[in-house]
């Protein structure tokens, strides 16, 4: 027989309500963090940040959101103070993992410091993607140095105006298109140093860098896949350039706007990977022609190999009236795999050369080249070096010839492998004992080491 249930007391009702509430909280708390973060991702950023007041666990959950939008700082400032500190915290927390960030960047950005944010954003990107930096960055009046290292496609707004930027370094960046790339360089009004390292030029056929204040330019592009089938031309017009460094395949062409670059204090050229000597030698000739005003030139032997394909090399080479230092470095993969014919033609065009360093590997039949009467040998050459020196008969004969026919020569430096024996050194010195005014030094060096005598 059924009976009516007795009514609940007020205290009992309150107890049941608290129990229901407690059970509801427990159901939420039992969910893993990644599920809670997924739920928060459906909320606007300002609402997700508000959940940080619920408990200790919820305090940092919002930091793990993949997408954050701080474009309305008001509500966030009410909860955590400065919106800039909230952005900074979200980027540098160990649990942060961002795919998209839209920070509010106005007048406060220069005072707070934008560089750590940018570094953090690039570090947290899950995979190569587009990087859209805030427009105000590209019109910053106080930014002096900008360094971006990331395999991403860079979107550049218009206009770009950097009135104070002195240093720009881009590494691994893919340019969206020619207009965007051109806009970036044209906006660098007082740039002094430009470094482009392994950038992706697949969307670029030709770009023009016209920066009168530019003094140092470094271009490194030789990895496969960074340039489309055709050549990419980089035209440079700068009257104050003093230092040039190129480490390129010939798919990237540096083309001086004027036929000749200005007087360079130092130029270094490494040609990496070429397939057809006959097709590429004219590109090497153009490159050397642009360097004819340089005071100091350092090249690897690949450049000489290309020049050997020229039909009339002696007539095609310009005269290097200012060149006092020439350094020909070995190829680490094919050491000694070159002949000296192209080098001799180059030396004939350098009447004021004072310092010469060459890679070892010339053959006995090459001796006739060295025994020619060269203007620099007979009047100017003061220092001579052989890199990766081996005491072959041809090498020793060359040294003896220089000691006898280079009247102003003061020093010979021989860079040897670590296993070079003392007995061999004594044999070399005995052959050259007739020369008492030339200092001869032996220096240990490994093949893969970077050697510089300039």
Choose from 96-100, 269-273, 290-294, 295-299 the range with maximum mean pLDDT: 295-299
pLDDT recorded at residue 90: 56
pLDDT recorded at residue 105: 43
Q: How many CB atoms lie within 10 A of CB 3?
A: 5
Q: Give the three-state DSSP class for 195.
A: strand
What does the pLDDT average to over 92-103? 48
Q: Which of 13-22, 92-101, 162-171, 406-415 has the lowest mean pLDDT?
A: 92-101
- In tens, the pLDDT along 271-291 reads 887 655 556 777 788 888 889
For residue 142, CA distances in Å to 119, 137, 138, 275 come to: 19, 10, 11, 46
Does residue 256 carry a pLDDT above 80? no
Which residues have C-beta within 8 Å of that of residue 414, sequence separation ≥ 6?
Answer: 385, 386, 389, 428, 440, 441, 442, 443
pLDDT recorded at residue 410: 92
Whole-number percent of the chain with pLDDT over 70: 67
Q: b/e map of 261-293 (b: 16 or more CB within 10 Å)?
A: beebebbbbbbbebeeeeebbebbbebbebbbb
What residue spans define the domains of the chain? 33-123, 127-258, 264-454
Which CATH superfamily groups domain 264-454? Ribonuclease Inhibitor (3.80.10.10)
Bridge partner list, 276? none
pLDDT recorded at residue 337: 54
Q: How many CB atoms lie within 10 A of CB 143?
A: 20
What is the pTM for the complete model shown? Answer: 0.71
> Percent helix, strand, coil in the chain (nearest 5)?
35, 20, 45
Q: Give the three-state DSSP class for 233.
A: strand
pLDDT recorded at residue 7: 58
What does the pLDDT average to over 93-106? 46
Does residue 367 carry a pLDDT above 50? yes
Does residue 104 carry a pLDDT above 50? no
> H-type helices in 194-300, by residue range?
277-290
Does residue 201 carry a pLDDT above 50? yes
Whole-number percent of the chain with pLDDT over 90: 19
* CA neighbours closer than 13 Å in the CB half-sphere of residue 311: 2
């Amino acid at each position: 027989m059924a009976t009516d249930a007795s009514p609940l007391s007020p205290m009992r009702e309150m107890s049941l309500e608290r129990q229901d509430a407690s059970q509801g909280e427990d159901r939420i708390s039992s969910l893993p963090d990644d599920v809670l973060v997924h739920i928060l991702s459906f909320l606007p950023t300002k609402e997700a940040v508000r959940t940080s007041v619920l408990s200790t666990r919820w305090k940092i959950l919002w930091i793990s959101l993949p997408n954050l939008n701080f474009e309305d700082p008001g509500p966030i400032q009410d909860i955590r103070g400065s919106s800039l500190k909230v952005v900074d915290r979200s980027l540098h927390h160990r649990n942060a993992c961002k795919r998209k960030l839209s920070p509010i960047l106005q007048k406060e950005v220069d005072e707070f410091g934008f560089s750590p944010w940018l570094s953090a954003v690039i570090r947290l990107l899950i995979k190569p993607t587009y990087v859209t930096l805030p427009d105000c960055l590209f019109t910053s009046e106080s930014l002096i140095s900008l360094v971006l290292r990331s395999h991403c496609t860079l979107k550049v707004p218009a206009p770009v105006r950097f009135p104070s930027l002195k240093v720009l370094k881009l590494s691994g960046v893919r340019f969206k298109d020619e207009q965007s790339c051109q806009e970036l360089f044209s906006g660098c009004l007082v740039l002094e140093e430009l470094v482009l390292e392994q950038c992706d030029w697949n969307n670029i056929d030709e770009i023009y860098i016209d920066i009168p204040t530019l003094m140092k330019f470094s271009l490194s592009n030789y990895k496969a896949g960074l340039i489309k089938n055709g050549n990419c031309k980089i035209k440079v017009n700068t009257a104050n350039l003093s230092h040039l460094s190129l480490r390129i395949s010939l798919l990237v062409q540096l083309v001086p706007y004027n036929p000749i670059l200005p007087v360079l204090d130092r130029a270094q050229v490494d040609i990496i990977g070429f397939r057809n000597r006959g097709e590429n030698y004219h590109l090497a000739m153009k490159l050397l022609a642009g360097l004819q005003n340089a005071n100091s030139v350092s090249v690897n032997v690949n450049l000489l190999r290309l020049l050997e394909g020229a039909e009339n090399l002696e007539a095609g080479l310009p005269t290097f009236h200012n060149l006092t230092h020439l350094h020909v470095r070995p190829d680490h993969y094919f050491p000694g795999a070159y002949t000296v014919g192209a080098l001799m033609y180059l030396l004939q065009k350098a009447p004021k050369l004072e310092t010469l360093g060459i890679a070892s590997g010339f053959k006995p039949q090459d001796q006739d080249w060295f025994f020619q009467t060269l203007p620099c040998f007979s009047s100017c050459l003061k220092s001579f070096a052989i890199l990766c020196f081996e005491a072959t008969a041809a090498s020793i004969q060359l040294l003896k010839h220089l000691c006898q026919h280079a009247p102003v020569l003061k020093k010979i430096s021989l860079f040897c492998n670590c296993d070079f024996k003392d007995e061999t050194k004594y044999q070399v010195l005995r052959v050259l004992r007739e020369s008492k005014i030339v200092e001869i030094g032996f220096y240990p060096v490994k093949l893969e080491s970077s050697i510089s005598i300039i």
